[in-house]
Amino acid sequence: QSALTQPASVSGSPGQSITISCTGTSSDVGSYNLVSWYQQHPGKAPKLMIYEGSKRPSGVSNRFSGSKSGNTASLTISGLQAEDEADYYCCSYAGSSTFEGVVFGGGTKLTVL
């Protein structure tokens, strides 16, 4: 099972919007609407920001949104704030004749300028 592909880093200024992509295959992102996104600050456990592609858990700001097109999922953060600076990971359920489980992306470091 190959990891999902994310850009290593993205950056934006306060108030701007940024988008992080997450590219998989037809065995994971492309076949299931089961992509999750996590935010992780240094030394902390990951925090779920988006699940099932576009749903937000209670308490997560509506500045965070998720979408998917084909084999690529995306996380958009609007109105960037300093506290959004963190690592972001995508994750998808994956199922094929040879593997059934979960795959993560390599992570994207978001810098708020």
Partner 1 sequence: EVQLVESGGGLVQPGGSLRLSCAASGFTFSSYWMHWVRQAPGKGLVWVSRINSDGSSTSYADSVKGRFTISRDNAKNTLYLQMNSLRAEDTAVYYCARDRSGSPGRWWGQGTLVTVSS
Residues at the contact surface with partner 1, assessed by CB under 8 A: 1, 32, 34, 36, 38, 40, 45-48, 51-52, 57, 87, 89, 91-93, 99-107
Shortest Å, Cβ 67 to partner 1: 16
Q: Say if CB 99 and CB 44 are below 8 A apart.
A: no
Token pair of 20 as six digits? 């992080």
Q: Which is nearer to partner 1, 16 or 44 (CB)?
A: 44
Shortest Å, Cβ 33 to partner 1: 9
What is the rounded CA–CA span in Å between residue 19 and residue 34? 19
| Residue 84 backbone phi and psi in degrees, to 5 | -80, -15
Q: Which is nearer to partner 1, 47 or 63 (CB)?
A: 47
Q: Which is nearer to partner 1, 84 or 89 (CB)?
A: 89
Instruction: Give the SS3 label for residue 86.
Output: strand
